Structure 1
């Protein structure tokens, strides 16, 4: 006999809301975020802290403002994330050579090492979440989401 929650979920899947693209994107994001956070937990990270660490480890030397804009976070959230990563010895703030009023965020050796390990865990979680899609479908989805995320590119 189906559980009441299963019956309700089945009925909800027939809702007109499941034709709403924004809802579907939000739901897919919530599912992916949950899986990603679970995979990153073994590294002491969550999706947001991993994103900051990963960008700092890529060598571009982003400023905190650039991180906030790129990740679509409030600057105060980025300050808190960088503070946490810095307290763990994973990133350093250094004066921006182009603007002495700003800081850039640079990953330490330990931060680069952790970012690489966390990237592997995040990719494994992503593969599990998207397992029902073929490789071509995943690439198409990636291309479409990239077009939405970066319309000026």
Structure 2
């Protein structure tokens, strides 16, 4: 059985394949779980970098967005919608409460439960953060047309809910 050896003539080709592009032909690069995790990581990483000046991160923004929506979510509802553990929700709400962006109020539907509402400064922070995240989304989705962006949102909604 013949063996293959790399010669000096093969070196430029091997060097060209040295970047991460060489992995695109592999099985992993075709797996939806990997692709969605990688896309999420890139998007969240960029968004967190852009939100840093506002002193919050994407997860805090998610809680703040729902608190600013007027829907008056309970902590339990936040956890269910955001697919986060109750302890994670408590920590996120605590951090937003410490900066005066949200407050806990008794839930009129269930007095044992707390709803999370944005304060006046929280509403202002939400608007500024929303603008930053829309800019970040434009960067992250920059290779997609408007039609492709709508299609992506539709497909992700089907998967997520």
| TM-score by shorter chain over 0.5 | yes
When the two chains are superposed, the root-mean-square deviation of aligned CA atoms in Å is: 1.3
Matched residue SS, 1:95:
strand
Distance 1:99 1:130 in 2: 41
In the alignment, what sits opposite 2:127? 116
Q: 1:66 aligns with which of 71, 77, 95?
A: 77
Calculate the TM-score normalised by the size of structure 2.
Answer: 0.88
Q: 2:50 aligns with which of 22, 39, 51?
A: 39
Distance 2:21 2:138 in 1: 25
Distance 1:51 1:17 in 2: 30
Deviation at 1:10, TM superposition (A): 2.1
Deviation at 1:13, TM superposition (A): 1.8
Aligned length: 147
Runs of 4+ with >3 A deviation = none
Structure 1 runs not aligned, ≥5 long: none
State yes or no: 1:140 paired with 2:154. no
Deviation at 1:74, TM superposition (A): 0.4
Deviation at 1:76, TM superposition (A): 0.5
Calculate the TM-score normalised by the size of structure 1.
Answer: 0.92
Distance 1:10 1:108 in 2: 47
